[in-house]
Amino acid sequence: MQGRLGGCGQWWWKDNEYRSGRRWAADFGNLSMALKINLLQVKEYGVVAEIKQDIAHITGLTNCMNGQLVHFEGGSTGVIVGFDGTYELAMIVKEGAKIKPGDRLHSSIESCTVPVGDEFLGRVVNGLAEPTDGRGPVKTTRRYPIFGSAPSVLERTPLKEALETGVKILDMMNPVGKGQRQLILGDRVTGKTTIATDTILNQKGKGVVCIYCCIGKSEASLNRVMELFRANDTLQYSIVVAATAASSVGQQYLAPYVAASLGEYFMNERQKDVFVVFDDLTKHAWVYRQMSLLLERSPGRDAYPGDIFYLHSQLVERACKLRPERGGGSMTFFPIVETVQGDVTGYIPTNIISMTDGQLYVSTPLFTEGFKPAIDIGLSVSRIGSKVQWPAMRKLAGILRLEYIQFKELEKLTRIKAGVSETVERRLRKGRVVAEILKQEKNAPVPVEEQVIVLHALASGFMDHLNPEQVHAYSRGLIDRIRRERPDLIQNLIHEKDINESIKEGLHEQLTAYGRGAI
C-alpha cells in the first residue's frame, strides 16, 4: 500500500500481512482502526541540496517539524533546526558516510528523544547517550525528550537541604542546596573543574546520582577526570556524558540537554537527588554561535544570535527540588563558565549569572598566591543563603565570612605600612589562621562534621595561639584523635546536625586533652 504525502512521501506498513495483501481487503474500509493499533509509520523523502560543515540544506521535506529526526542514506542522523524560503535545515548529530549534495534522506515521526534508565550508571556516553566505553550497548526501554520542559512553580518546593560539597569554603560560607543552580566562573586553569569533581567525590555513599557533562574540552582534560573517577571508584554512582572538541558540532550542542534528561529520569522516576556538572557552557555558547552563523541567522552582540539567552535559560530552569507529591527528588546544576582576564561582565557570564541562584568566582591572583580553592569570597554569593546549612555550621560560620573579608582588606592596608599595633597584629594572625582553615588540597573533600569540629575549636579559642603553618597539622591530629577516642561524638553530630550540650561537653573534653595549641 502506498499513498502520496506532500508530494514526496510514502506510507509504509510494518505488518507483513498488510505488505502481502492478505488482510488488505478486511481492513481497507476501516483505516482508522489500523491507525489506532499503531501499525502505521509515516516516512517522507528528501534530497540534500547543499552541505555547510554540519548543516545540511534539504529539499522535499514539506511536512517536517523543528526537532524532528532525519536519516541520511549513508548512515548519518540529523535534527531539523530551521527553515528558510527554499530549504529545510538539518544539523548533523551522528556521522556516517560523508554527506554530499544529491544524497537522499528520509524523515519519520520521531521526536528528538534520548534513552534513559538505571543502566546508564557507571557508563561513559557521547552527546547522543550512546556508550563509548567499549562495554557494549546500554539496554533500556525508557526514553525522555532531549528538550524537556522545566517543572512548573506548583511542582517545586523551597530548598531546605544542603548538598554537602566537601569543599570547606563552600560548605562554610557559600552553601549549596539540593535543587540549586550554582555558577562557577573564572579564567582558564584556575581550578573550576576541580571544585566540581571534588563535589562529585564527596557524594560517595550519600545516594546522590552524579552526571559529569564534558562540552568541547580536549581529550586530555576528559582523560584526567576519568582517571580521577576510576581511582576513587566514583563511576558506580555517576554518568559521564562526553562531547569533546573532536565530537561533531551537533553532539556538543545536544550534550548538556542529554545530561539533563538522564538526570530527570532519576529525579522523576527514582525520586533521587541528582547533581549535574556542565563543563563548560562557554564552549557550548561558541558551538551554538557557529551553528547560527552557518544557519545564516542575524548575529548580535559578540556575534552571538539573539536567542543565546534562551539557549541556556531553558537548560538551567530544569534544575529544581520537587514537591513531596511529585516524589521529592531534586536536580542540582553546577554550570561552569570561562572568563577572559577576570572579566565577569562578558556577555555569556552575565547572561548565566542572571539565571542562576548564585556564583562562585575563581580568582587568578588567589590561585597564583597559593590559596586553593581560589574562590574570591567578596565576588561570590549564594542566593539560597544559610537556611540549607546544618544548624551547627550556621552558628559557627555566621560571622566567619565577614571576618575573613575584613581580614583581607586589613591585610591590603598593612602591606604599605612599616609597623602595626599589637591589636592589628592579633587580628591579622587570626585572619591568617582562618585562611589556612579554608585552604584545601584538590581531590580531598572534607566531611561537614569535620569542618564543624574545627570551627568549634576555633570559636572556643583553642586555636588562638597557633601559627598559620601549624593549622593543618593541628586540625588533622584533632580529627584523628576524636575518631579514635570518641567516634560516638561524630555519629551524634551527623545525626543531630547541631552541637547540643552533650556533644559540646565531649568536644571540650577532647580539645582539652589534645592540648591547647598542641600539634
Pick the closest to residue 146 from 169, 102, 113, 179 (CA basis). 113
Catalytic site residue 481?
Answer: no
Set of cell numbers at residue 29:
474500509
DSSP state of 310: H
In this structure, the answer to whether residues 87 and 193 fall within a common structural domain is no
Q: What is the pLDDT of residue 41?
A: 57
Q: What is the pLDDT of residue 403?
A: 83
Length of the chain as a residue count: 519
Distance (Å, whole) CA 47 – CA 274: 42
In this structure, the answer to whether residues 359 and 426 fall within a common structural domain is no
Q: What is the pLDDT of residue 85?
A: 79
> Which of 336, 369, 389 is where one domain is finished?
389
Residues of the chain with pLDDT under 70: 1-41, 110, 416-418, 516-519
Position 131 in a domain: no
In this structure, the answer to whether residues 369 and 407 fall within a common structural domain is no
Q: CA end-to-end span of the chain, whole Å?
A: 86
Q: What is the pLDDT of residue 27?
A: 43
Structural domain tally of the chain?
Answer: 3
Q: What is the pLDDT of residue 517?
A: 43
In this structure, the answer to whether residues 400 and 494 fall within a common structural domain is yes
> Domain of 384: which CATH number?
3.40.50.300
> Which of 53, 79, 112 is where one domain is finished?
112
Q: What is the pLDDT of residue 430?
A: 87
Q: Name the one residue in this structure whose C-alpha cell is 555513599.
A: 205
In this structure, the answer to whether residues 410 and 489 fall within a common structural domain is yes
> Domain of 93: which CATH number?
2.40.30.20
For residue 447, say if its preceding peptide bond is cis, omega within 30 degrees of 0: no
Pick the closest to residue 121 from 203, 240, 22, 30 (CA basis). 240
> Which of 389, 408, 432 is where one domain is finished?
389
Position 471 in a domain: yes
Distance (Å, whole) CA 241 – CA 264: 14
Q: Name the one residue in this structure whose C-alpha cell is 582539652.
A: 512
Distance (Å, whole) CA 119 – CA 3: 41
Set of cell numbers at residue 296:
545564516
404-455 confidence digits (pLDDT tens): 888 888 888 887 666 778 888 888 888 899 999 999 999 999 999 999 999 9
Active-site annotation holder among 383, 426, 476, 516? 383
Q: What residues contact residue 325 under an 8 Å CB cut-off, 6+ apart? A: none
In this structure, the answer to whether residues 333 and 423 fall within a common structural domain is no
Structural domain range at position 368: 161-389
In this structure, the answer to whether residues 385 and 400 fall within a common structural domain is no
In this structure, the answer to whether residues 173 and 248 fall within a common structural domain is yes
Position 257 in a domain: yes
In this structure, the answer to whether residues 288 and 232 fall within a common structural domain is yes
Is there a contact between 288 and 356 (Cβ–Cβ < 8 Å)? no
In this structure, the answer to whether residues 400 and 385 fall within a common structural domain is no
In this structure, the answer to whether residues 347 and 401 fall within a common structural domain is no
Q: What is the pLDDT of residue 426?
A: 83
Where does 317-420 show beta strands of DSSP type E?
320-321, 330-338, 358-362, 381-382
In this structure, the answer to whether residues 366 and 436 fall within a common structural domain is no
